[in-house]
Amino acid sequence: MIPSDPAELERQHLADILEAMRRCAFFSHRLSSAIPHPLTGNLLESLCNDFDLSDKLAAFNERFSKLQDSTAAAMRHAALLSGEKTTTFLEVLVFFEKVGVVKSTRDWQRIRALRNMAAHDYSIDYADIALHFNGLKDVLPELLGVSVRMINYCDTKLFIAPKKVFFESDWQHIVNTFRS
């Protein structure tokens, strides 16, 4: 049954976002492990007809973007439910930097810029594509760390957990590896 209380709806909505975040974290982590690192332009060019690799790269790009989007959405809602007066996303970031979820506002924005640059680029230069994926893989641990700490914050401060429990053992591995 869907409650009519707006505050309870906000809480349920945050639980939904946390679940989406966790799915994206799980798939980003799995996909990242399945992609050779570091990639080079020569390797990508030699495997340009490799459907499996192409599929993994496209999926990794997508999951990485959605992980950052869902984490940002969770931050906005969690700030609201924490009673923080925030009008801009920068204020939200500063709040989560203060409570230790985000280690550096600048690093978060840099990851955002990295992801956005690729979203608007149509490069067919294999060396450039390799640079992009190497960059995503390099910063994924940082993004996973934010996600883990965000879920922990919501659990311990707001008593809100992801709606459904999926991939529990994989998630524990991510938590143990990236929480600090």
Partner 1 sequence: MRLDSTEIKTVRTLVDSIIGKGSMVRVFGSRLNDSIRGGDLDLLVESEAPVDALSRASLKMDLEAKLDLPLDIIFLEKGKKRSAFQELAYSRSGLL
Q: Output Rg (C-alpha) for the chain, integer angstroms.
A: 17
Q: What is the nearest approach in angstroms of partner 1 to the Cβ of residue 107?
A: 10
Tokens of 162: 């992801």
Amino acid (one-letter) located at 16: D
Smaller CB distance to partner 1: residue 2 or 124? 124
Smaller CB distance to partner 1: residue 85 or 120? 120
Smaller CB distance to partner 1: residue 79 or 111? 111
For partner 1, the binding residues (CB under 8 A) are 109-114, 117-118, 120, 123-125, 127-128, 131-132, 134-136, 138-139
Contact 73, 17 (CB under 8 A): yes
Q: What is the nearest approach in angstroms of partner 1 to the Cβ of residue 139?
A: 7
Left, alpha or beta for 39 (phi > 0: left; psi -120 to 50: alpha)? beta
Contact 112, 93 (CB under 8 A): no
Smaller CB distance to partner 1: residue 15 or 136? 136
Q: What is the nearest approach in angstroms of partner 1 to the Cβ of residue 36?
A: 16
Q: What is the nearest approach in angstroms of partner 1 to the Cβ of residue 138?
A: 7
